[in-house]
Every structure is written in structure tokens, then in C-alpha cells.
Amino acid sequence: MTLKQLFERPTSRNIKILIIIGLILCFAVIPVMQYFTSLSGFPAQIFSSQLSFNGDSMKSFYAVTDIGIYRVTALLDYIFMVGYGTILFSVSILIARRFGVSSKIGQISVFIAICGVVAACCDGIENVFILAMLGDPTGFPSFLAISHSIFALIKWILLFISIIWNAIFGIYSLFKRNEKKAIQPNSS
């Protein structure tokens, strides 16, 4: 499948269904993840742990954490990844279709759709490193924390780009559609 085929397949109806599924996955798993994170006693905020690039910091976080409970959070995160990856991909494709295959915005939106999926994949790799660190929470080699943070950084960059792009051009496409609707009755 070439990227241009994303302007036609999957159908817009199926993409809208994917957005709903993604939203359900995200909203169902977020409170459960927050509950298990809180129950585990993990002391760090999301950015300070994911972007620490420091094995000693991660070891200090894990030293006061119930590792078995925290492991559940890391595993549940995979559901969240599927949810937000699906949402970002689907919304970007709908925006691309709104602007068309010959439009620069449409072409970039397809690229942004792929970025959303890559962000979720980087998140998955990041969690592999988390799970590896949880195997020996106070004695793991520091390269695991550094690798974890590298994939987290890539994830966050791609997430911010995707979210900002989709917000700006999603809103713009709504204005564009409303302008067309307002003009059409007058042109008859």
C-alpha cells in the first residue's frame, strides 16, 4: 500500500469507527493506569521519569515503588498506545482527505498520520526498557534508563508535532468546510 492509497482506504466510515475505538481504549485505561501508578507508590512525575536519562534516578524511583503493581501500569500502557496511535493516525488521515492528495497540507497530514503510529511504537519500545529495568529495579545497567529516555523523547516530540498539527489543521478544515457550506446556497 502506498501512502496515496490512504486517501481512499480504509473508508472514512471505518476511520471514524477507529477513532471511537481509540477514544474508548484511552478513556477506559487512563484511570486504571493512574490507579495502579498511585497504588504502586511510584514517586516521579511523567516527564521527570521518562526524560531523566539517568539510571541512578530511575533506581531511586523504583526503590520506593511496589514493582509488581507498577509493572501492571507498564503493561496497561500498551492498550493506551494502541488507543492514541489509532486516534492520531485516523484524525490525520481524515484531515489529509479533507485537503486532498494534491494539497501540501494533505500530503503532510499523511506523514503526520505515520508519525502518530511511530510515536506509539516508540512508546512500546520505551516500555520494553521499563519492563527490563523492573526485572532488577535497583541493579539494572544505566544504558537501559538512557535508552528508555531516548525512545520517550522521540515519542514526545512526535506526539507534540502530531497533536499540534491535528489541532491546527483539524480546526482549519472545519472552518474551510463551513465556508463552503455558507457559499454554496448563495451560488445557486
pLDDT tens digits, one per residue of 87-103: 999 999 999 999 999 99
Element (H, E) at 71: helix 67-99
Q: What confidence category does residue 185 fall into, taking pLDDT thresholds of 50, 70 and 90?
A: low
Give the model confidence (pLDDT) of 141-177 as tens digits: 999 999 999 999 999 999 999 999 999 999 999 888 7
Once rounded to an integer, what is the mean pLDDT over residues 42-63? 96
Once rounded to an integer, what is the mean pLDDT over residues 70-75? 98
Per cent of the chain over pLDDT 70 is: 96
Of the candidates 7, 3, 6, which has an alpha carbon nearest to the alpha carbon of residue 100?
7
Decide: 113 and 96 in contact? Cβ < 8 Å. yes
| Main-chain phi, psi angles of 100, to 5 degrees | 95, 155
Q: What confidence category does residue 69 fall into, taking pLDDT thresholds of 50, 70 and 90?
A: very high
Element (H, E) at 176: helix 142-187
Lowest mean pLDDT, pick from 2-16, 88-102, 126-140: 2-16
Average pLDDT, the chain: 94
